[in-house]
Amino acid sequence: MAIYYAAGGNSNQGRVVKVHRNTNTTTWSSTSTNATFFNDSISPTASGSWFIINWRACLSHSTNYSLYIQMLVGGTVVGGRGGGSYQSCGQSKYNENYGSGHLFNAGYWQYSGQYIHTTTNSSSWTFQLRTRSQGGTHYFNYAYGYNDNDRGYPRAEYYILECEGS
């Protein structure tokens, strides 16, 4: 329901109408180039909605390789290397093996990103986040050489604010 202001305007556009959210607390490792950790169907409440996507994930990977995250909307890469005009949806990390390597084998990186997706209809669409590895092994929600469950594992999560279109 719109809010009407004394000056004559209203709040018909831009209001948050729904929050879509998910978390992933599993731990796993992979040598695959791509490993998907979110693959969710998003059902809009109306046509023409805007979706403000925020996400984070904690990963580590073996030294001397790089790792980044790709975001896909409807099966198309929209962020991360290989996405359209190469817009960013997070960081790319390269772990170089030097010294004791403790920084890389006992820690993990937090990757995060944002994106705005708009629709012209009320059809469901698929939201995916996946790793993109340049080799080696990557580890989801824990450090590759130091699996310290006593401190608690991190978690991957996203929330998507669905707003009325403008």
pLDDT tens string, the chain, 166 residues long: the values are 666 777 767 766 778 889 999 999 998 899 988 899 999 999 999 888 999 999 999 888 877 777 888 899 999 888 776 645 555 555 666 666 655 666 666 677 888 888 999 998 889 999 999 988 888 888 888 877 766 666 667 889 999 999 988 6
Contact between residue 113 and residue 165 where contact means Cβ atoms under 8 Å apart:
no
**For the whole model, what pTM was predicted?**
0.82
**Architecture in CATH for domain 36-163:** Sandwich (2.60)
Q: Which two tokens stand for residue 74?
A: 């409807």
Q: Look at strands 109-118 and 138-140 and give their pairing.
A: unpaired
Burial of 63 (0-12, 13-18, 19+ CB in 10 A): middle
